Chains A and B, each alone.
Chain A
Amino acid sequence: MERTVLDLREVSISFGGLKALHDVNLDVRQGDILGLIGPNGAGKTTLFNVINGFLQAEKGEIILDGEKIRGLKPFDICRRGIGRTFQLVKTFNNMTALENVVVGALLHTDNVGDARRRAEETLKLVGLIDKKDITAENLTLMERKRIELARALSTKPKLLLLDELLTGLNPSEMDDALQLIRDIRDRGATICMVEHVMRAVMSVCNRIVVLNFGKKIAEGSPKKVANDKKVIEAYLGEEVIAGSKEY
């Protein structure tokens, strides 16, 4: 029986009169790489912000590994086991790659030396160990995304939220990133990723949830979702879905 890591029930939030999320029900199971897709403005990043604590859901429950986390502050939510990367990369630009990851690693230790060791291991995992002493602002976008990933990983999260990790990467960087995501999953992590790049989502996710106008409109395996009429309609005019027909 798979353990449910994250359970969202009837999660809703509105801005002004606009309902950004409408009774969203979703669950993420242990070992999933769950893809969260939908047209622009569907509410994907909003959902992440709600899970993360940056926004407060007006209705519904958010349960992480059995614990209710709705209403908690972001730092509390992180301590309970959610790690996150951002659409616009938010590395600590005046700190080195290693220092960035150390900040994450310090969640579980008060000893800076231990944190550094852990950070180095995580940097090795993401393939950035030789750049560990370079200041983040001097690194490429792909490298900074790796830093963000390593940083979030070093907090030993139960659930890793990746917000458009692949945006802005060229095809070979994207393949590297996808392999990295698989490696992380193989090491025991559970991942939920918001993505626009369809071929990536189709190739690496084992389950997909589709949002549109703040509501869940489809859910299931990549193949099932790609052939779902509602999903195709939602993306009508967007060419991305065409590429996914290969799957």
Chain B
Amino acid sequence: MMFKLIQSIIRENIFQVVTVIILLILPLIVNQTYIHHVLTICWIYAIAAIGWNVCYGYAGLLSFGHTAFFGIGAYLTVMLIRAIGLTPWVGIFLASILTAAFGMGIAWVTARTRGVYFTLCTQAIPPVFFVIFTWRVGWWGEFAGGSYGLTVPYRGHDPIFMQFNYPLPYYYIAFGFLILSIWIVIRLIKSKFGYYLRAIGEEQDAASSLGINILRTRILGMGISTLITGISGAVYVNFLHIIDPYEAFGFTLNLQFILAGMLGGVGTIIGPVFGALLLVPFSEFVKLFLEQRFGYGLIGAHFVLYGIVLMFVTALMPRGLYPKVKETLIKKGLIRRR
């Protein structure tokens, strides 16, 4: 019975299954550590973008502060390792849940505001956490690493603590968490809460006239959104083994998540993955190109490019690239319309 169920699921989603299988064996075929590294970063950004998208694409809340949750997820995981020696295999989950708690707490305050004001409020969140995590006072100053950030204590090759000598296992770990995040979003969309969340994102007045508690739905929605973004930060720090507060709580990372989400597809599940797959290799390429051609004199130049690209995307394709791709795929009968 179970076997038949799995069989039918596979048959209905054959395109997706094939894609996943390809992505699973890809790193074995293209066995270059640099490619593994870049793709792992892709998956991590994709997770963060998926989290951001739950907030914007579904709940209709534009957040300019999601990078804060990325940072919190990362910091908490490292702190758990340092404080109680908790292995990241558990730590990632714990840190993400804690991040979600923070997210919901913040949402409890900010989700009362409307539209533009919400976004402006979220913009102030990363700097606040920057201050918190770099505060040099007493034991906390030591523990949180101040403005230098935190590093994961080096253990050499130690799978129990998620440390490997080569990027390949990280690829699978990040990919695994990506699948997990996607699964969370799929379950969300099909659930009652998912319907309510999308309703408040579409038309608030109508939603409240249908019995939906706007504030509560927003808070829970933010919880899930920040959970996922927290996961991405936690995985990130266990890959690169360092977290820098300037990067984590700066606006540029924020923009990259937004760019991935917008580019890929707002309000779709796979869209942000698409966006991350476009964005990360492109940004690597641009960075390398600029370094080779102009040395380090052009720091920041690639952000000028991102800004311009995002402007074009927002103006011309406000719902992103992926919806168009999806339509084409549906027309060619590769995936079914849901």
Instruction: List A124-181 residues whose CB lies under 8 Å from chain B.
Output: 133, 148, 151-152, 155
B165 at the interface (CB under 8 A from A): no
Interface flag for A19 (CB, 8 Å): no
**Contact: A94 with B208, CB < 8 Å?**
no
Interface contact B199-A103, CB-CB below 8 Å? yes
Instruction: Name the contact of A104 in the complex, choosing from B191, B192, B208, B210 (C-beta under 8 A).
Output: B210
Q: Is B202's CB under 8 angstroms from A95's CB? A: yes
Q: Does B213 sit within 8 A of A, measured CB to CB? A: yes
Q: In the bound complex, how far is the Cα of B209 from the Cα of A99, in angstroms?
A: 16
Do A78 and B210 contact each other (CB < 8 Å), given the known contacts A90-B203, A106-B196?
yes
Q: In the complex the two chains form, is A155's CB within 8 Å of B210's CB?
A: yes
Scoring B202, B214, B267, B337 by chain A CB atoms within 10 A of each residue's CB, the highest score goes to B202
Segment at the interface with B among A3-11, A29-37, A107-115, A204-212: A107-115
B156 on the interface (CB 8 Å rule)?
no
- Find out whether the CB atom of A112 lies under 8 angstroms from the CB atom of B210: no
Contacts of A75 in B (CB 8 A): 208-214
Report the count of interface residues on A (CB-CB < 8 A): 32
Q: Give the residues in chain B near A115, CB-CB below 8 Å.
A: 192, 195
Select one of B195, B206, B212 contacting A112, CB under 8 A.
B195
B interface residues (Cβ-Cβ under 8 A, vs A): 190-192, 195-196, 198-199, 202-203, 205-214, 267, 337
Inter-chain CA distance A92–B198, complex, in Å, is 8
Q: Is the CB of B196 within 8 A of A74?
A: no
Please give the distance in Å from B200's CB to the nearest CB on chain A. 10
Check A106 against B195 for contact (C-beta < 8 Å).
yes
Say yes or no: is A54 at the interface (Cβ < 8 Å to chain B).
yes
Q: Which residues of B contact A84 (CB under 8 A)?
A: 209
CA distance A90 to B206 in the complex (A): 6
Chain B residue contacts of A93, Cβ below 8 A: 202-203
**CB-defined contacts of A78 to chain B, threshold 8 Å:** 208-211
- Asked whether B208 lies within 8 Å of A92 as measured between CB atoms, the reply is no
* Chain A CB within 10 Å, residue with most, of B195, B206, B210, B267: B210
Q: Is A190 at the interface (CB under 8 A from chain B)? A: no
Tell me whether A83 is interfacial, beta carbon within 8 Å.
Answer: yes
A122 at the interface (CB under 8 A from B): no
Please, which residues of chain B bring their CB within 8 A of the CB of A235?
none
Report the Cα distance A93→B192, complex, angstroms. 18
Interface of A with B (CB < 8 Å)?
52-54, 73-75, 78-79, 83-84, 86, 90-95, 99, 102-104, 106-107, 110-112, 115, 133, 148, 151-152, 155
**Number of residue pairs A-B, CB distance < 8 angstroms:** 74
With A102-B195, A106-B196, A112-B195: A54-B210 Cβ-Cβ less than 8 Å: no
Pick the residue among A94, A102, A104 that contacts B202 (CB under 8 A).
A94
Beyond A75-B209, A86-B205, 6 additional contacts (C-beta under 8 Å) are A73-B213, A92-B203, A93-B202, A103-B196, A112-B191, A155-B211
Interface pair A99/B208, CB less than 8 Å apart: no
**Bound form: Cα–Cα A42–B60 in Å:** 34
* Residue numbers in B under 8 Å from A148 (CB-CB): 206
Q: Is the CB of A151 within 8 A of B267?
A: no
The complex places the Cα of A83 from the Cα of B207 at a distance, in Å, of: 11
Whole-angstrom distance between the alpha carbons of A52 and B205 in the complex?
10
Which A-B residue pairs are the 10 nearest by beta carbons?
A92-B202, A90-B206, A74-B208, A78-B211, A107-B211, A90-B203, A103-B199, A84-B209, A75-B208, A79-B211
Decide if B209 touches A103 in the complex (CB within 8 Å). Answer: no
Would you call A92 and B209 a contact (CB within 8 A)? no
List B contacts of A102 (CB < 8 A): 195
Across-interface contacts of A99 in B (CB, < 8 A): 195, 198
Q: Please state if A94 and B267 are interface contacts (CB–CB under 8 Å).
A: yes
Q: How far is the CA of A52 from the CA of B53 in the complex (A)?
A: 31
B211 touches A73 (CB 8 A): no
Check A112–B267 contact: CB distance below 8 A: no
Give chain A residues whose Cβ lies under 8 Å from the Cβ of B191: 112
Asked if residues B198 and A83 are in contact (CB atoms below 8 Å), the reply is no
20 residue pairs A–B, Cβ–Cβ below 8 Å: A52-B209, A53-B208, A54-B205, A74-B205, A75-B212, A83-B210, A86-B205, A86-B206, A90-B203, A90-B205, A92-B199, A93-B203, A94-B198, A95-B199, A103-B199, A110-B192, A148-B206, A152-B210, A155-B210, A155-B211
Is there an interface contact between A112 and B190, defined as CB atoms closer than 8 Å? Answer: yes
A74 engages B209 (CB within 8 Å): yes
Residues of chain B within 8 A of A107, CB atoms compared: 210-211
When chains A and B are docked, how far (Å) is the Cα of A53 from the Cα of B190?
A: 29
Query: Could you tell me if A91 and B209 are in contact, using CB atoms closer than 8 angstroms?
Result: no
Instruction: Give complex CA distance A109, B192 in Å.
Output: 9
CB distance from A114 to the nearest CB of B (A): 10
Instruction: Determine the chain A residues whose CB is within 8 A of the CB of B205 once the complex forms.
Output: 54, 74, 86, 90
Measured between beta carbons, the chain A residues less than 8 angstroms from B198 are: 92, 94-95, 99
Report how far A74 CA is from B202 CA in the complex, Å.
17
With A and B bound together, what is the CA distance between A73 and B203 in angstroms?
16
- Asked whether, in the complex, the Cβ of A106 is within 8 Å of the Cβ of B206, the reply is no
Give the Cβ gap from A85 to chain B, nearest Cβ, in Å.
9
In the complex the two chains form, what is the Cα distance from A89 to B94 in whole Å?
44
The answer to whether B202 and A83 touch across the interface, beta carbons within 8 angstroms, is no
